[in-house]
Structure 1
Amino acid sequence: MFGDYTPDQLLSIFAMQGFAGLILFSVFVLMALGLAIIFGQMGVINMAHGEFMILGAYVTYLTSKFFQAYLPALFPIYFFLAMILAFIASGALGMLVEWLLIRHLYKRPLDTLLATWGLSLILQQAYRSIFGAREVGVELPSWMMGAIHMTDSIEVPINGVFVMTLTMLITVVVGILMYRSSWGRQVRAVVLNRDMAGAVGINTEKVDRMTFGIGCGIAGVAGAAFTMIGSTGPTSGQLYIVDTFLVVVFGGAQSLLGTIASAFTISQARSTLEFFTSGSMAQVITLIGVVLILMLRPQGLFALKVRR
């Protein structure tokens, strides 16, 4: 596999695929952060998580069209407002779904899987009816176009650097929320012992609704970032939901650090293997590797330690 390339060529290939893997890593992390909060902290298998991401992507698309038509002078900064609107739209829909559907299915993981799978089909059809079956693309501001020339053979796209920077900022914010805020302490208390948390005055229903809403809101931001590297269609979210669950389970369902480490490992492996094999073969090899590791360590790379 490597014999047809010189050492310099291999170095350039690994560097380019490494940067491409970092962009894929960014999408995985943004998707997995929201899913880790919902699945890891609440035990809810949300098969509609990809559709919350696509809602954020469509909100970004609509925002770009609005700025192009009515505020062309402010078009270079529309993306920052689009991310906020994507978070609000996906988060609000998530809280509504939790109130109408999810709160009746806690501690019934198979039922949540079936219910959210049906929700994903409903949302896909809604997107198809509203936006059409064809994929749509977002026009990026001029300052996001082009690439940074690292060497003569290595270029890094500017929009990819922006997505990676955005991912790091959101990861830091989520970490602060989970481990340094009163809401994070309440979430962890509910996870460890829901009955005791309620006994000491924590409104567990409110915590659940906020947790689900924030997890879906982060997925909406992932959708906004997704528009920079791909086109948006009604079923685009389903392309990432399996990989996202794989990232969360492999890293440890309740570990923020595990989610990041897992996303980095899987994205880098897939990006490098895709160059030397094919996209489908790279996914198969990566999946086999993850399954083998989980057979040896079923709790994932990092597991939450709980005193029994």
Structure 2
Amino acid sequence: MFSGYSFADLTSIFVMQGFAGLSLFAVFVLMSLGLAIIFGQMGVINMAHGEFMILGAYVTWLTGRFFSSHLPALFGGYFFVAIVLAFICSALLGALVEKVLIRHLYKRPLDTLLATWGLSLILQQCYRSLFGPREVGVDLPDWMMGSYHFADNIDIPINGVFVLALTLVITCITGWIIYRSAWGIKVRAVVLNRPMASAVGINTSRVDNRTFALGCGIAGIAGSAFTMIGSTGPTAGQQYIVDTFLVVVFGGAQSLLGTLASAFSISQSQSTLEFFLSGSMAKVITLLIVVGILLLRPQGLFASRIRRQE
């Protein structure tokens, strides 16, 4: 696999693919953070999570078109507005879905899987009807174009650096919300013992609704980041849902640290293997490695010490 490459060539390849893997890592982290909150904290298998990501991507695309047409002087900063709008739109849709659909299916994981799978098909058709079947791409501001010349044969794209910075900020905010805020204490109390949390005055239904909305909102931000590395289409979210579940399960369903470590290892392995092999073979090898590790450690890389009590 490495024959025909000099040591300098391999070094450049690993560095470039490593950074390309960091861009994929950013999308994996943002997607997995939202899914880890929903699946790990609530036990809901949300198969429509990819469609919430694509909603954020379409909101970013629409925001870019609006600024380009009506506020061209402010186009350079439209992406920051798009991120906020993507979070709000995805979170509001998530809150509505939880209230109308998910709330009636708690403790029925198979039913939530089927219901959210049906929801994903409905959302895909809605996107296809509203935006058309073809993929669309966003226009990036001038300051996000180009790359940093790191070394010979090694260029680091500026938009990739921005996506990594965005991921770091969102991860820190999410960690603070879950582990430091008063609302995060309520979330963890509901996870630990729902009847006792309700008995001490915590509105568990409101906690569930806001938790689901937060997870979907983070998926919307992942959609904004996704527009920088790929085009947006009605079914684009389904390309990432399997990898996202793999990241969450491999890292440990209730561990944010495990989610980060899992997303990094999976994205780096896929990115590097894709250079030397086909994309499908890279996914197969990565999956086999993850399955092998899970056979030895089924609780994931970082198992949570929280034990659910009914």
User: Distance in 2 between the 1:44 and 1:206 partners?
Assistant: 16
| AA matched with 2:288 | I
Specify every segment of 5 or more residues in structure 1 that has no aligned partner in the other structure, as ranges. Answer: none
In structure 2, the partner of 1:125 is 125
Corresponding residue for 1:216? 216
Distance in 2, Cα, partners of 1:100 & 1:84: 24
The SS at the match of 2:218 is: helix
* Residue 94 (structure 2) aligns with: 94
Deviations, residues 120-171 of structure 1 (Å, cap 9, x unaligned) = 0000000000000001110000000001000021000000000000000000
The DSSP-based 3-state class of the residue aligned with 1:150 is: strand
How do 1:283-302 and structure 2 match up within 5 A?
283-302=283-302
Is 1:271 the counterpart of 2:271? The answer is yes
- After the TM superposition, which residues 46-195 of structure 1 pair with which residues of structure 2 at under 5 Å, given as runs? 46-195=46-195
**Aligned AA (1:86):** A
Tell me by how many angstroms 1:9 deviates: 0.8
Q: CA deviation at 1:306?
A: 3.1
| CA RMSD, 1 decimal | 0.8
Determine the C-alpha separation between the residues in 1 that align with 2:59 and 2:18.
30
> Is 1:35 matched up with 2:42?
no
Secondary structure, counterpart of 2:148 in structure 1: strand
Query: Partner residue of 1:17?
Result: 17
The CA deviation string for residues 9-60 of structure 1, in whole angstroms up to 9 with x for no partner, is 1111111110001000000000000000000000000000000000000000
Deviations 1:246-285 (A, max 9, x none): 0000000000000000000000000111111110000000
TM-score for the superposition, normalised by structure 2: 0.98
Measured in 2, the distance between the counterparts of 1:227 and 1:274 equals: 21
1:3 Cα deviation from its structure 2 partner: 2.5
User: For the residues of structure 1 that align with 2:3 and 2:240, how far apart are their CA atoms?
Assistant: 33
Normalised by the size of structure 1, how large is the TM-score? 0.99
Counterparts of 1:267 and 1:57, CA distance in 2: 20
State how many pairs are aligned: 308
Residue in structure 2 matched with residue 196 of structure 1 by the alignment: 196
Equivalent-residue separation in structure 2 for 1:193 and 1:88 (angstroms)? 30
How far residue 4 of structure 1 moved from its aligned partner, in angstroms, is 1.6
